[in-house]
Amino acid sequence: MPFVSARTQKSSYDVIVVGSGAAGGQSAYTLSMDGAKVLMLEAGRKYDPALETPMFQTPDMAPLGGAGTPEKPFGFYDATVDGGWQVPGEPYVRASEEDAGRFEWWRARMLGGRTNHWGRISLRNGPYDFKPYSRDGLGFDWPISYEDLAPYYDKVELLIGVYGTSEGLENTPDSSPGCLLPPPKPLVSDHLVAQRAKRLGIPVIPGHRAVLTRPLDSARVPARLHPGNVTAQKILAEDMRSRSACIWATPCGRGCSIRANYQSTTVHLPPALVTGNLDVRTDAMVYEVTLGPEGRASGVSFVDRTTGKHQHVTARAVILAASACESVRILLNSKSAQFPNGLANSSGRVGRYLMDTVGSSLGGQIPLLESLPPLNEDAAGGHQLYVPWWLYQDQHAGKLGFARGYHIEFGGGKGMPGDGTGAKMEWLTGGSYGAKFKQDVRRYYGSFVYFDGRGEMIPNDQSFCEIDPSVKDKWGIPVLRFHWEWSEHERRQAAHMQKTFADIIGAMGGRTDAAPQADGARAIAPGGSIIHEVGGAMMGASPATSVTNQWCQTWDVENLFVTDGAVFASNADKNPTLTIMALAWRAADHMLERMRRKDL
Amino acid sequence: MDRRTTIKWVLAASAAWSFPAAHGAHAAIPARGYGTDPKLQKAYRRGELWPLTLSAPQRRLAGILADLIIPADAYSPSASAVGVVDFIDEWISAPYPLHLQDRTIVLDGFTWLDAEAARRFGKGFSDLEESGRVGVCDAICNESRAVPEHRGAARFFALYRDLTAGGFYSTPVGRKDLNYIGNVPLARFDGPPPALLKSLGLL
């Protein structure tokens, strides 16, 4: 009975995992495949992508043509359940409502969390990204190097299935042979971006996304991931055979009922449940890690959201994987005589150095792409190609005026028409309506491209979260209050993105759909809006200045671990999910070894 | 049309564009939307989740205007023929902040159209000949070219054109009109034909 209730749940486990997304899924997978008895607690409801995903539904079947609303911010068919920038009954507080100081907190209250809807972009941090302070004196170094995490990047790529290539570029790591699936073919617009960007000296290479462009190698991968563990190999091989490869249709953000892309619910949880070692309890809103004798975590307390009842469950070890800010919230709300400022917070750094990704966007219209013949460009759902950060030499020579870099995600093509098709074209059509408008829409459909910059934010003292002294959620749990500030580095980076995008659009013979924004403060998206929030329980080399060690183990409480983005010491331009999973796997391996030695 | 009605429309229209803040919601809109966990796999009918609110004369005007923007041609039918009036009615009757804002713009726009038609031709917009309707729309179809007193109406027209297009191109007919051929499972994806790439200088 893997999905448990108050009645069927055991009274104690080896490990409690709080959260079921990328970090919780990976933690539970690694532990249960190796025999540990795990209880996963998820605040949201049970969710089954095989039954619930709207795969081929079209916009005419949805209210408002599927357009986003505050209740479904990424569109009606987005996989997110009970989530968004605001969750009913679960407020948070912003210290500032000004754009520059605003932080938006995205949450998804559902099994699998935000892995159900994410972009699936899976980039590795490079060697520089783990030692940023050593390189430019800003921020913090990680207590690990790229070499420490590289084997786990390999493992995660092999398990979840990531397409891409190894290009041998600076700080853009190669994967070990056999780890990556072949990338999808580029679209017409991709070819044009690549050709013209290269003329500007900007490299364009295949993207990396967690989508199966062919079936996983179930004959070889299981033995590589679980050497010596025949049971795990067998379970994984069977599970891999039951995942379908991409059928080149339907947006990944809806989720995937045939399990052709990575979601915790389609990749991590199914084999973990087959082991019989994993129990999952949904609608379990954890609010406190309890402290037992000898300063060890004894378990967690949670509210059953369906009954409102409070419950406590015990375990030998606790993993917080509730998402960076939610894990911070649980730590700060876990107060005791020994930890009056929150659990594992003797450094005072719980909640500090919150980071997001620097984001800025610009679109354009390209005459060369007008009136092309019919093409099926659904492809693998986007990100066939991307631009890795390329200006290391200029930056080293002091020519850029900001530290750290960004990568560029871009797209175009003849996607499914919808509620935005034909909109906001007055600048191209001169305001046509009638027969001419219909012709104009046909002419311009498929001729638009967009560019999204995704850049590194340097942690700063002004960006953090803490417990609000008065506001509580509907369960009576104190909520977070966010403080946010960008530095000149991020603002200048955002302005640089705008200029780069305009240059590329110009080189494509196109026009930008808005004037490129030279003022970085206006070019940059608000904090949290890229949904790459990390930090708040930073890992480090010293208990005085960090919350966890390199194993995601809190310095203060030896059987308490944080395996989500909270432990990030920096936030490279690379999207954080792959690194979260690699860190979680590495931490779980360490826990298993210590449990075998009986010292955990 | 009687003169009193004409004057009422003209006054309402001038109020609409001069004092937008003073112009609140035109009819009661329910407070609830579809929630954060709606069923995603069923096909919804317009008006199923919240009531449609346009009156019969407003729906008539809505259809006439939508068909001025997207008329039938050799390739596809008109906007109203594929349910765009229902789409727009659902949109402006929805309980979300953006939609409430659009509601005010659209309903004020309808009022303005009638007032402008009354001012120029002595009857409501829906009762004009095609040439009269086009005359009114030509003045507001491009915000940057519109005279200052027509800017508000031009913003309405731009929104209404966007909604009409959104309603039209999100239907099967609209997808066919644009020759969209995706949303079908494929055994493989070969990318664009090499001949096409060659013709564009990309190969």
Look at residues A396, A453, A502, A455 and name the one whose alpha carbon lies nearest to residue A170.
A396
Count of structural domains, chain B: 1
Is it the case that residue A212 has pLDDT exceeding 60?
Answer: yes
Inter-chain residue contact B180 with A416, CB threshold 8 Å: yes
Residue A86 at interface with chain B, using a CB cutoff of 8 Å: no
How many whole angstroms separate alpha carbon A467 and alpha carbon A456? 26
Determine, yes or no, domain membership for A68: no
Cβ-Cβ pairs closer than 8 A, A with B, add up to 208
DSSP track, A239-267: HHHTSPPP-S-S-GGG--TT--B--IIII
Determine, yes or no, domain membership for A362: yes
Whole-number pLDDT of residue B20: 41
Residues A572-599: what's their mean pLDDT? 97
Whole-number pLDDT of residue A547: 98
Determine, yes or no, domain membership for A199: yes
Determine, yes or no, domain membership for A117: no
Q: What is the pLDDT of residues A495-544, one digit of tens each?
A: 999 999 999 999 999 999 999 999 999 999 999 999 999 999 999 999 99
How many whole angstroms separate alpha carbon A264 and alpha carbon A22? 6
Determine, yes or no, domain membership for A87: no
- The domain containing residue B92 runs over which residues? 3-24+49-199
C-beta neighbour count of A2 within 10 angstroms: 16
How many whole angstroms separate alpha carbon A102 and alpha carbon A138? 23
Determine, yes or no, domain membership for B44: no
C-beta neighbour count of B101 within 10 angstroms: 14
Whole-number pLDDT of residue B8: 57
ipTM rounded to 2 decimals: 0.95
Q: What is the pLDDT of residues A90-102, one digit of tens each?
A: 999 999 888 788 9
Q: How far away is chain B from the Cα of A253, in angstroms, using its nearest Cα?
A: 13
E strand map for A429-550: 448-455, 464-472, 478-483, 511-512
C-beta neighbour count of A515 within 10 angstroms: 9
Residue A260 at interface with chain B, using a CB cutoff of 8 Å: no
Residues A95-124: what's their mean pLDDT? 94
Determine, yes or no, domain membership for B34: no
Residues of A in contact with B113 (CB under 8 A): none
Determine, yes or no, domain membership for B91: yes
Residue A373 at interface with chain B, using a CB cutoff of 8 Å: yes
Closest in A61, A69, A432 to B44, CB measured: A61
* Average pLDDT in chain A: 97
CA diameter of chain A: 79
Determine, yes or no, domain membership for B42: no
| H runs (alpha helix) in A509-554 | 520-523
Residue A60 at interface with chain B, using a CB cutoff of 8 Å: yes
Grouping H, G, I as helix, E, B as strand and the rest as coil, residue A40 is: strand
Residue B202 at interface with chain A, using a CB cutoff of 8 Å: yes
Contact A472, A479 (CB under 8 A): yes
Q: Which residues pair with A83 in a beta bridge?
A: A108
Q: Which helix (H) or strand (E) holds A279?
A: strand A278-281
Residue B38 at interface with chain A, using a CB cutoff of 8 Å: yes
CA B188 to chain centre: 39
Inter-chain residue contact A66 with B170, CB threshold 8 Å: yes
Residues of B in contact with A421 (CB under 8 A): 165-166, 169-170, 174, 178
Determine, yes or no, domain membership for B43: no
Q: Residue A275 contacts by C-beta under 8 Å, 6 or more apart in sequence?
A: A32, A33, A35, A231, A232, A235
- Chain A residues 145-184 with CB within 8 Å of chain B: 184
Residue A268 DSSP class: I
Determine, yes or no, domain membership for A400: yes
Determine, yes or no, domain membership for B35: no
Q: What is the pLDDT of residues A445-481, one digit of tens each?
A: 999 999 999 999 999 999 999 999 999 999 999 999 9
Residue A15 gets the label, from left (phi > 0), alpha (psi -120 to 50) or beta, of: beta
Q: What is the pLDDT of residues A232-251, one digit of tens each?
A: 999 999 999 999 999 999 99
Residues of B in contact with A377 (CB under 8 A): 182, 192
Residues of A in contact with B37 (CB under 8 A): 45, 81-82
How many whole angstroms separate alpha carbon A244 and alpha carbon A211? 10
Q: How far away is chain A from the Cα of B123, in angstroms, using its nearest Cα?
A: 23
Contact A287, A85 (CB under 8 A): no
- The domain containing residue A439 runs over which residues? 184-206+358-455+487-523
Grouping H, G, I as helix, E, B as strand and the rest as coil, residue A467 is: strand
Determine, yes or no, domain membership for A79: no
Is it the case that residue A569 has pLDDT exceeding 60?
Answer: yes
Residue B97 at interface with chain A, using a CB cutoff of 8 Å: yes
Whole-number pLDDT of residue A1: 45
Query: At A38, is the pLDDT very low, low, confident or very high (cuts 50, 70, 90)?
Result: very high
Whole-number pLDDT of residue B29: 77
Instruction: For residue A213, give the amino acid letter.
Output: T
Q: Which helix (H) or strand (E) holds B136?
A: helix B130-138
Residue A417 at interface with chain B, using a CB cutoff of 8 Å: yes
Q: Which parts of chain B register pLDDT below 50?
A: 1, 15, 18-25
